[in-house]
């Protein structure tokens, strides 16, 4: 090795840059916008490739032929890796989703479905995954914005296959598990290289890529062994500072080679073996491919992703508007509190609203009861429309408002009703006289039912407010929703200021946020002046007696789940695809389950109130003395 060029190994580092820019197979995009910018990445590939070619050309007369061959093989591997990423980005874009699948993928999907039977069978975990794979093309079409009538017959039949034909009626957990797997497969299609490897061309390129880096590594090791033998004969040269530097270069190059080979092998294993998206290709081929699926892929998949482990975050964001207002008011009284300091720092960088979202946002688990409630509301099969409920005529003035105003007004009303219920439960428990055991058990059941209703109402109400504040694009709201929320938070009624201009004293002197909120809710029950005021004026009468409060609480649970269903039916597919990268949202599950039942804007649109344009509606307006409301009140009175 000539002493005047001690850093010859650096010629290998330039193609390594291409390899690592190509990224691993499990992550090609961090957001949906990355997929739409695949042309920009193509231009970056051309620029980086030209730079690598220039480096190789400059070193062509100064390096050993083995080193140049290794560099050329690494260059081929880098071009393939980066090209695969760009290909995956293009397939994950809206244009790529709308394009038809490859011939190989269609053939594999068809052969995979030949063993599919419509007969009733035990729903094992493997069968659940199998059904999700059969619906993969239909789910992709839905995410691409296609209507059901735009799908081909076979895809539509698989996508609309009735969930409850094979399972007991009303199994919400099974349907949510299927939706989890379908969305996980969709995530692989959007944010990984799964769809690239699924094609024959992609499989061939992957084999060439892996062979290139392995051969390059072998040539490099052989060259370094030969150089070591030569170094023993010419110790005078290799005892110099230049040689010590070349040893550092050699160690760095070894690390780069080993890292690239391990990354290539692990990524290929994870995508090809552990991703269910590739299983149709394995099952469609006889011999060792099918053995690989049954003996290797599925057992390892069961260990890494067991049936009891969720495929998504299994959480829902929570944002309470009144708690946020109380926090702001408390911060104004504590001039140098940590909250105020962080808020001021965020304001310096123009991130006040972002800090408000972060500091007042929590997360709660999606409970089993929540899933069952949603499942019962959207219906059991593809011919079922969500069942409408009867509500007092006062709800008309609320439902005709813009959706963001209706949500905020209903959210605050729910807080007031839950406060009244909790207060009545505390009074009744403290003033109860000794009674017989049967009556005591009945009281406990009634209290438990109210706590369940309050928990469901709280989770759904705060989740819808979280979507309104953090992800308004997923809701059918106007574009200036952020301005509306800022104006609502700055209004007099949200700061506890009465119409005369005086602030509630109890609200001012309360020591903690919980106490402030209690005083605030008591004050709002009579002094609310925000959006939906007509609804409040008519509905305040239900707060006058306990039976009316209990009936309203039971009604609010049904109202909130239908507001979620309505928002899901009106949501846009690209927004659901965008938030898959962050763990998924509950509204995405509702949207997909509704699509399986031909409900929503994918085919049969629904509205809040009855009209001439929608296939179904969610609320039926009647007088307050409707039989349904009587039934609720009777149930509540019986339990009390």
Each residue's pLDDT tens digit, 291-300 = 666 667 777 7
Nearest to 456, CA basis, from 534, 354, 563: 563
**CB atoms closer than 10 angstroms to residue 272:** 21
Residues with Cβ within 8 Å of 354's Cβ and at least 6 positions away in sequence, in order, are 346
pLDDT digits (tens, 9 = 90+) for 43-54: 999 999 999 998
Nearest to 322, CA basis, from 513, 486, 492, 468: 513
For residue 316, what are the β-bridge partners?
364
100/545: higher pLDDT: 545
Q: Tell me the HSE value of 280 on the side-chain side, using a 13 A CA sphere.
A: 29
Flag whether pLDDT at 634 surpasses 80.
no
For residue 115, the SS3 value is coil
For residue 428, the SS3 value is helix
- End-to-end Cα spacing for the chain: 93
Nearest to 78, CA basis, from 23, 8, 10: 23
Task: Select, from the ranges 250-259, 308-317, 457-466, 534-543, the one with the highest average predicted confidence (pLDDT).
Answer: 457-466
- For residue 550, the surrounding DSSP H or E stretch is helix 546-570
The pLDDT of residue 460: 97
Flag whether pLDDT at 633 surpasses 50.
no
Flag whether pLDDT at 546 surpasses 80.
yes
Average pLDDT value for the chain: 78
Length of the chain: 640
Flag whether pLDDT at 98 surpasses 60.
yes
Cβ atoms of 493 and 530 within 8 Å: the answer is yes
The pLDDT of residue 291: 65
pLDDT band per the 50, 70, 90 thresholds, residue 63: low
Mean pLDDT across 572-583:
91
Percent of the chain with pLDDT over 70: 71
Q: Which two tokens stand for residue 340?
A: 């105020």
Distance CA 278, CA 281 (A): 6
User: Maximum Cα–Cα distance for the chain, whole Å?
Assistant: 104
Mean pLDDT across 337-356:
58
Tell me the torsion sign for CA atoms 196, 197, 198, 204.
positive
**CB atoms closer than 10 angstroms to residue 414:** 24
38/114: higher pLDDT: 38
241-250, 329-338, 356-365: lowest mean pLDDT where? 329-338
* pTM of the predicted protein model: 0.84
Cβ atoms of 78 and 209 within 8 Å: the answer is no
pLDDT band per the 50, 70, 90 thresholds, residue 561: very high
Mean pLDDT across 100-129:
56
**CB atoms closer than 10 angstroms to residue 505:** 10
pLDDT band per the 50, 70, 90 thresholds, residue 380: low
Nearest to 459, CA basis, from 264, 615, 607, 315: 315
Cβ atoms of 444 and 435 within 8 Å: the answer is no
The pLDDT of residue 374: 93
- For residue 606, the surrounding DSSP H or E stretch is strand 606-609
The pLDDT of residue 308: 82
520/90: higher pLDDT: 90
pLDDT digits (tens, 9 = 90+) for 131-173: 888 888 889 999 998 888 888 888 888 888 755 454 454 578 8
Q: Which two tokens stand for residue 502?
A: 């005086």
pLDDT band per the 50, 70, 90 thresholds, residue 609: very high
Nearest to 84, CA basis, from 45, 58, 50, 52: 45
Flag whether pLDDT at 560 surpasses 90.
yes
pLDDT digits (tens, 9 = 90+) for 239-281: 444 444 467 888 888 999 998 888 888 877 776 666 666 566 5
Cβ atoms of 469 and 357 within 8 Å: the answer is yes
pLDDT digits (tens, 9 = 90+) for 509-531: 545 556 677 878 888 888 888 89
Distance CA 37, CA 43 (A): 10
The pLDDT of residue 6: 56
């Amino acid at each position: 090795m000539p002493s005047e060029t001690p850093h010859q190994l650096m010629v290998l580092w330039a193609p390594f840059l291409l390899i690592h820019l190509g990224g691993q197979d499990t992550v090609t995009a961090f957001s949906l916008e990355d997929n739409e910018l695949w042309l920009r990445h193509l231009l970056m590939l051309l620029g980086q490739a030209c730079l690598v070619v220039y480096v190789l050309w400059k070193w062509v007369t100064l390096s050993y032929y083995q080193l140049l061959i290794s560099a050329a093989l690494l260059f081929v591997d880098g071009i393939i890796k980066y090209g695969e990423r760009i290909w995956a980005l293009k397939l994950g874009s809206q244009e790529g989703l709308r394009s038809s699948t490859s011939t190989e993928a269609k053939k594999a999907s068809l052969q995979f479905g030949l063993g599919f039977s419509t007969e009733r069978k035990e729903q094992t975990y493997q069968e659940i995954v199998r059904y999700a794979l059969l619906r993969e093309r239909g789910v992709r079409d839905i995410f691409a914005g296609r209507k059901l009538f735009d799908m081909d017959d076979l895809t539509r039949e698989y996508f609309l296959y009735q969930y409850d034909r094979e399972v007991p009626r009303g199994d919400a957990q099974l349907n949510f598990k299927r939706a989890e797997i379908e969305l996980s497969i969709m995530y692989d299609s959007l944010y990984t290289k799964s769809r690239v490897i699924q094609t024959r061309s992609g499989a061939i390129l992957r084999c060439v890529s892996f062979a290139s880096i392995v051969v390059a590594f072998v040539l490099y090791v052989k060259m370094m062994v030969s150089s070591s033998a030569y170094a023993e004969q010419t110790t005078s040269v290799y005892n110099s500072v230049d040689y010590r530097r070349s040893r550092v270069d050699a160690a760095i190059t070894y690390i780069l080679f080993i890292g690239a080979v391990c990354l290539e092998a692990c990524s290929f294993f994870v995508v090809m073996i552990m991703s269910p998206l590739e299983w149709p290709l394995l099952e469609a081929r006889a011999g060792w491919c099918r053995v690989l699926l049954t003996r290797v892929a599925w057992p390892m998949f069961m260990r890494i992703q067991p049936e009891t482990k969720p495929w998504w975050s299994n959480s829902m964001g929570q944002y309470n508007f009144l708690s946020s207002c109380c926090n702001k008011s408390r911060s104004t009284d504590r001039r140098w509190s940590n909250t105020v300091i962080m808020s001021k720092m965020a304001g310096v960088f123009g991130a006040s609203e972002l800090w408000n979202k972060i500091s007042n946002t929590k997360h709660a688990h999606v409970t089993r009861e929540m899933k069952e409630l949603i499942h019962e509301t959207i219906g059991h099969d593809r011919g079922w429309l969500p069942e409408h409920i009867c509500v007092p005529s006062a709800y008309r003035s609320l439902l005709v408002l813009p959706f963001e105003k209706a949500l905020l007004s209903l959210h605050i009303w729910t807080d007031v009703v839950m406060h009244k219920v909790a207060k009545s439960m505390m009074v009744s428990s403290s003033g109860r006289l000794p009674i017989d055991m049967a009556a005591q058990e009945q009281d406990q059941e009634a209290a438990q039912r109210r706590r369940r209703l309050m928990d469901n109402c709280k989770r759904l109400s705060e989740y819808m407010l979280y979507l309104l504040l953090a992800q308004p694009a997923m809701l059918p709201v106007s574009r200036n929703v952020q301005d509306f929320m800022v104006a609502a938070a700055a209004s007099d009624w949200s700061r506890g200021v009465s119409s005369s201009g005086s602030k509630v004293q109890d609200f001012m002197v309360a020591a903690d946020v919980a106490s402030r909120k209690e005083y605030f809710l008591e004050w709002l029950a009579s002094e609310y002046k925000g959006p939906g005021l007509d609804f409040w004026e008519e509905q305040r009468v239900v707060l006058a007696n306990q039976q009316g409060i209990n009936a309203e609480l039971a009604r609010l649970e049904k109202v909130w789940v239908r507001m979620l269903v309505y928002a899901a039916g009106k949501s846009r597919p690209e927004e659901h695809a965008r938030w898959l990268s962050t763990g998924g949202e509950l509204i995405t599950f509702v949207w997909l389950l509704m699509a399986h039942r031909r409900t929503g804007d994918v085919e049969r649109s629904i509205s809040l109130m009855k009209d001439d344009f929608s296939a179904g509606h969610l609320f039926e307006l009647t007088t307050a003395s409707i039989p349904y409301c009587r039934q609720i009140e009777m149930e509540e009175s019986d339990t009390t």
